[in-house]
Amino acid sequence: MPYSFEIYKDKKEEFRVRFKAPNGEKMFSSEGYSSKAAANNAIKSILKNGPAATIVDNTKAVKAAKKAKVAKKKKKKA
């Protein structure tokens, strides 16, 4: 089975999209949409805009902020 987009309805009866790997593992899912057409538009947008999307790694900023906070605490104690 190849990678796939799956449209489904959640408990609130909203349409959602999930992206599944060939082994069936859910890789991500979308917000809820009020119509199936809106869910299909989300898929089309991912396919169109995804290949050119940049990767933003916020984990580096969080790690740097934590280090600065720890250093500030150490400085206060000294």
Q: What is the mean pLDDT of residues 59-78?
A: 71
Q: What is the mean pLDDT of the chain?
A: 90
Burial class for 15, CB neighbours closer than 10 Å (0-12, 13-18, 19+) = buried
The pTM assigned to this predicted structure is 0.71
* Per-residue pLDDT tens digits for 45-66: 999 999 999 999 888 777 667 7
User: Which of these, 34, 27, 2, lies nearest to 16 by C-alpha position?
Assistant: 34
Question: Which domains are assigned to the chain?
Answer: 4-77 (3.30.160.160)
Q: Are 45 and 53 in contact (CB under 8 A)?
A: no
